[in-house]
Amino acid sequence: MFIKKIIKSIALQYYRVQDKSRVKRFFAKIHDIAQQERVRSQFKSADGVYFESDVQLNDAQCISIGDNGYICHHVILTAWTRYQNQVFEPEIIIGQNAHIGEYTHITAINKIQIGDNFLTGRWVTITDNSHGNVSLESLHEAPINRDLCSKGSVVIGNNVWIGDKATILPNVTIGDGAVIAANSVVTKDVPAYSVVAGNPAKIVK
Ligand SMILES: CC(C)(COP(=O)(O)OP(=O)(O)OC[C@H]1O[C@@H](n2cnc3c(N)ncnc32)[C@H](O)[C@@H]1OP(=O)(O)O)[C@@H](O)C(=O)NCCC(=O)NCCS
């Protein structure tokens, strides 16, 4: 009888804890829905996109992401309409089913266009701009005060996979189905359905 009582009391405690965690889960879900809406509302469009926490944005009204996108923790998506005295009309357009890995940084003052089914690993950088044009004159200025300049837009086709820590520099086109190996630095166009690796990236397959 005594043992039965103990078991009953343990069971009751167990269900109380379970109920509490159910309530906690419910409020966590509500918080997540509100958080998603708050982040999505900053974009030009990102309706069907899921954002993990701590995504960093700048001028997201110039950024659109297609349906079914998944943006991981700490991704940095920055379009710049102004930098000091400069004014830009940047665009970042990402297609459907994108999966962008943690700490990936995509930054534009000009245009970055990415097709459908884009996959990146972690710590990938894609940029269409640099601090200054590396003329001798500009090297006398503090880098942060140099004008931002873009050598050209970045265009990435459909079904492209970029491995961890790769960097895509301005004025580069990456063809459909290309694979960019981990740690590559892409300075030139990449043909469709090729694999490039290294710094500067060269075709390996
Ligand atoms: C691109 C990749 C898929 C190619 O794999 P693979 O087809 O098995 O290629 P191989 O290992 O046969 O390599 C082919 C050549 O490229 C070289 N290579 C491959 N990856 C390289 C890299 N990241 N950097 C420099 N060279 C590389 C190889 O040394 C080899 O050179 P060799 O022909 O002179 O011997 C793979 O190397 C890679 O980088 N994967 C990314 C992994 C990643 O970031 N995952 C995160 C999850 S999204």
Which domain covers residue 108, as residue numbers? 46-203
Q: Same domain for 32 and 100? A: no
117 alpha carbon to ligand 1 midpoint, in Å?
A: 21
Residues in the chain with pLDDT values less than 70? 15, 18
Name residues whose C-beta falls within 8 Å of residue 102's C-beta, 6 or more positions apart in sequence: 72, 73, 74, 75, 122, 123
Phi-psi region of 108 (alpha: psi -120 to 50; beta: other; left: phi over 0): beta
For the Cβ of 192 lying below 6 angstroms from any atom of ligand 1, the answer is no
Both tokens of 198, joined, read: 């290294």
Q: Same domain for 86 and 27? A: no
How high is the mean pLDDT of the chain?
Answer: 94
105 alpha carbon to ligand 1 midpoint, in Å?
A: 22
Q: Same domain for 59 and 146? A: yes
Q: Same domain for 52 and 139? A: yes
Q: How far apart are CA 157 and CA 189, in angstroms?
A: 11
Q: What is the pLDDT of residue 135?
A: 86
197 alpha carbon to ligand 1 midpoint, in Å?
A: 7
For the Cβ of 181 lying below 6 angstroms from any atom of ligand 1, the answer is yes
Q: Same domain for 10 and 60? A: no
Given the residues 31, 99, 131, 140, select the one marked as catalytic: 131
For the Cβ of 100 lying below 6 angstroms from any atom of ligand 1, the answer is no
The number of distinct structural domains making up the chain is: 2
For the Cβ of 179 lying below 6 angstroms from any atom of ligand 1, the answer is yes
Q: How far apart are CA 104 and CA 126, in angstroms?
A: 8
Residue 101 alpha carbon, nearest atom of ligand 1: 48
Both tokens of 71, joined, read: 């943006």
For the Cβ of 98 lying below 6 angstroms from any atom of ligand 1, the answer is no
Q: What is the pLDDT of residue 24?
A: 84
In which residue are the tokens 């873009």 written?
150
Q: Same domain for 34 and 93? A: no
- 3-state SS of 103-148? CCEEEECCEEEECCCCEECCCCEEECCEECCCCHHHHCCCHHHCCE
pTM for this entry: 0.90
Residue 179 alpha carbon, nearest atom of ligand 1: 1
Q: Same domain for 100 and 152? A: yes
131 flagged as catalytic: yes
Q: Same domain for 74 and 118? A: yes
Q: What is the pLDDT of residue 2?
A: 76
The CATH number given to whatever domain includes residue 91 is: 2.160.10.10
C-alpha dihedral over 171, 90, 108, 157, to 10 degrees?
-50
Q: Most distant CA pair in the chain: distance in Å?
A: 91
Q: Same domain for 110 and 179? A: yes
Q: Same domain for 10 and 53? A: no
Q: Same domain for 1 and 79? A: no
Q: Same domain for 112 and 58? A: yes
